[in-house]
Amino acid sequence: MEKNIKYLWKLAKGYRIYYFSMLFFLVFEVLLCFLMPLILSELINQIVYYRNVKTFVMIASTYLILLIGYTTNYFWRMMLYQAIENRFINKIKVDLFYKITNSTSNNLINIKSGDLVETIDRDSEQIHSSIIHGFYIRSISDGFGVILIMTIVMLINYKIGLLITLLSSLSIYVSQKANKDIYFLNESNRNQYTSYISWLYEVIKGIEDIRLFSGRKWVITKFLKYNKTFIKNEVKLEQKKIIVTKLNDFLSLLCNIAFYIICAFLIKNKEISIGYFFTFTIYYAQVNSFMSNLIERLYMFQKGKVSAEKVNSLCRLPVENGERKKDLVINKGNIQFRNVSFSYNSNRYILRNVSFDIFARTKIGIVGDSGEGKSTLAYLLAAFYHPLTGEIIVDGNDIGQYSTKSIRENISIVGQTPVVFNGTIRFNLCLGNPFITDEQIWAMCEKVRLVKVIESLPKGLDTIIGKNGISLSGGQYQRLNIGRVLLRNTPIIIFDEVTSSLDKHTEKFILNCIESLKDNHTIILISHRLYTLVDCDKIIIMKGGKKIAEGTHNEMIRECHHYKKLYRQQRTRING
For the chain, how many helices (H) and strands (E)?
Answer: 20, 12
Nearest by Cα to 527 from 553, 505, 559: 553
pLDDT for residue 247 is more than 60: yes
Report which secondary-structure segment, H or E, holds 355: strand 351-358
pLDDT for the residue numbered 353:
93
Query: Which has more pLDDT, 56 or 399?
Result: 399
CA–CA distance, 94 with 390 (Å, rounded to integer): 36
Q: Is the pLDDT of residue 538 over 90?
A: yes
Contact between 56 and 43 under an 8 Å Cβ cutoff? The reply is yes
Of the two residues 8 and 534, the one the predictor is more confident about is 534
Alpha helices in 14-127 (DSSP H): 16-45, 53-102, 105-108, 113-118, 124-126
Q: Choose the most confident range, by mean pLDDT, from 27-31, 272-276, 492-496, 499-503.
A: 492-496
**Cα–Cα distance for residue pair 20/110, rounded to 1 Å:** 40
For residue 152, pLDDT over 60 is answered with yes
**Alpha-carbon torsion (35, 40, 41, 45), positive or negative:** positive
pLDDT at 335: 95
Residues 6+ apart with CB under 8 A from 302: none
Return the bridge partners of 178, or none: none
- Find the mean pLDDT for residues 491-520: 82
Task: Return d(Cα 218, Cα 226) in angstroms, integer.
Answer: 12
Mean pLDDT (whole number) for 414-432: 81
* β-bridge pairing 538-543 and 546-551: antiparallel
More confident residue, 538 or 368: 538
What is the structure's pLDDT at 182?
Answer: 67
The pLDDT, as a whole number, for residue 338 is 95
Give the pLDDT score at 183. 64
